[in-house]
Amino acid sequence: MHALIDTIRIRVHARDSISEAGILAQLRHQPEVDLAGPDTQETVALAVLDQADDEAVQWLRSLHRADGVPVVLVIGQLDPRTLVPVVESGVCGVLRRAEATPERLVRAVRAAAEGNGDLPQELVRHLLDHVSQLGQYLLRPRGLSFAGLTARERDVLQLVADGLSTREVANQLSYSERTIKTIIQDLTTRLHMRNRTQAVAYAVRNGWI
């Protein structure tokens, strides 16, 4: 007796009928996948493209925003430079068309359904390089980080976390007490926290300090 397999309801979206038919043929007999009907909601959207130009990225974004579903992209050619807008559009999995076997399609779809990503290793490396360059050339010169905190805000939170009073923090950083109070008040408001203790706990939990 075989164990029951949790099926994932998908809908295939393609810019041409031939591409759609090809992917459907790959998936039609996969027991892990259920093809969504016209009146049912899919769990994952499976998009098929030849290449990711600006118009295609807008199309991907509309697929994701329509129902908030994760998108897996099967693509013929993908320039690594277009990976960032593709990911920003809601795509969490990318497969090159030549690699889109039934098994790989199912694996990518299941990863998306479980809230995970599935990207080729060289594309992950490119994405990480892009993030590093963004921090180095755009955020850091402005005193910002990916946490959305300035260096001064991080210093204040770190000292508050160490148990220093407002006056002690001011003396340590050579600011007025009023400036420190303003920084803390701005932080608690922006982070939607009630007080400095909650703000510190939130920052620690997220690895900001």
Kindly tell me if the per-residue pLDDT of 208 is higher than 60. Answer: yes
Query: Which residues is 47 bridged to in the sheet?
Result: 13, 73
Say what angle helices 166-173 and 151-161 make with each other, to 10 degrees. 130
pLDDT tens sequence across 112-151: 888 887 877 666 665 556 555 555 555 455 555 545 677 7
Nearest CA to 70 out of 33, 114, 100 is that of: 114
pLDDT at 176: 93
With 0.75 as the threshold, say if the pTM is over it. no
Q: What is the rounded average pLDDT of the residues 190-195?
A: 78
What are the DSSP calls for 91-129, one per residue?
EEEEEEGGG--HHHHHHHHHHHHTT--B--HHHHHHHHH
Taking only the tens place, the pLDDT of each residue in 72-87 is: 999 988 777 777 788 8
d(CA 128, CA 183): 31
pLDDT, position 103:
93
Q: Is the pLDDT of residue 63 over 90?
A: no
pLDDT at 204 over 80: no
Between CA 173 and CA 16 the distance in angstroms is 61
pLDDT band at 99 (very low <50, low <70, confident <90, very high): confident
Closest C-alpha to 200, from 157, 164, 166, 170: 157
Q: Are 161 and 205 in contact (CB under 8 A)?
A: no
Q: Is the pLDDT of residue 48 over 90?
A: yes
Tokens representing 58 are 């807008």
CB contact set of 117 (below 8 Å; sequence gap of 6+): 92, 93, 111
pLDDT over threshold 90, residue 170: yes
Strands 33-35 and 91-96: unpaired
Look over the chain and give the mean of its residue pLDDT values, rounded to a whole number. 81
Residue 3 CB contacts under 8 Å (≥ 6 apart), including other chains: none
- Closest listed residue to residue 78, CA positions, set 124, 111, 13: 124
Residue-wise pLDDT for 1-41, tens only, equals 344 447 899 999 998 888 888 899 888 889 999 888 888 88
The whole-number pLDDT of residue 161 equals 84
Whether 99 and 108 have beta carbons less than 8 Å apart is answered as no
Per-residue model confidence (pLDDT) at position 175: 93
Alpha-carbon distance of 140 to 185, in angstroms, equals: 23
